[in-house]
Amino acid sequence: KQEVTQIPAALSVPEGENLVLNCSFTDSAIYNLQWFRQDPGKGLTSLLLIQSSQREQTSGRLNASLDKSSGRSTLYIAASQPGDSATYLCAVNQGGSEKLVFGKGTKLTVNP
Amino acid sequence: GAVVSQHPSRVICKSGTSVKIECRSLDFQATTMFWYRQFPKQSLMLMATSNEGSKATYEQGVEKDKFLINHASLTLSTLTVTSAHPEDSSFYICSASSPNSNQPQHFGDGTRLSIL
């Protein structure tokens, strides 16, 4: 059974700092991996999608990497801003299934 | 981009009430929709997969008679929490698959259900 773990559970940083969020998964037979952002009481916003054949994806100040063989992904946020404060969720999509398995998320607080 | 609308956004009702939540794909047809539940400080847990024109597939531990799912059209799936009790209070989120999108699932904004 696929399990997704995110470390740390919470992170507080000063504005402007670069930071890394970590995601690990137990079954490397994934089709893709996604990073989402969730604001309090809201739904999910997709940030980056990495196919299993890819190593990384970039969007603006965000960069996500994928090491499928070791079951790890990282989300790098450059020059963090208070508006980046949210919970970041990692989810994997198993091959042959549309189901997503989520981690518990990392709650990020960027202090002005 | 693909948009999923979920309604209502918030429900507060008495114990024993049945509550219906709607999930609509606004600009695409979704043969498959998913229903998730999220407890505070927990991850999203898949409850069931809703397939248009057929019965939903429930995850282990989810009561079919408690959480009724209907996917009557390619743009609408409904989740009915029957005879809701305080332990059913949670955040319910739906998502829909868009075959023409590079993103596997598009999510609604969620429904906060509070049972008194």
Instruction: State the Cα–Cα distance between residues A47 and A38, nearest whole angstrom.
Output: 10
**Spatial CA neighbour of A63 closest among A108, A15, A21, A26:** A21
| pLDDT (0 to 100) of residue A97 | 73
pLDDT of B55 > 80? The answer is: yes
pLDDT band at B43 (very low <50, low <70, confident <90, very high): confident
Region A4-17: mean pLDDT is 96
Identity of the residue in A32, A102, A104 whose CB atom sits nearest the CB atom of B104: A32
The reply to whether residue A99 touches residue B49, judged by beta carbons under 8 angstroms, is yes
Instruction: Give the pairing type, strands B32-38 and B90-97.
Output: antiparallel
pLDDT tens per residue, range B85-111: 999 999 999 999 876 666 668 899 999
Contact A98 B104 (CB under 8 A): yes
pLDDT surpasses 70 at A17: yes
Structure confidence at residue B97 (pLDDT): 84
pLDDT, averaged across chain A: 94
**Between residues A31 and B36, which one has the greater pLDDT?**
B36
Digit-coded pLDDT (tens) for A37-65: 999 888 899 899 999 999 999 999 999 99
Chain B CB contacts of A89 under 8 Å are 43-44
| Residue B101: predicted pLDDT | 60
Break chain A down into helix, strand, coil percent, rounded to 5. Answer: 5, 60, 40
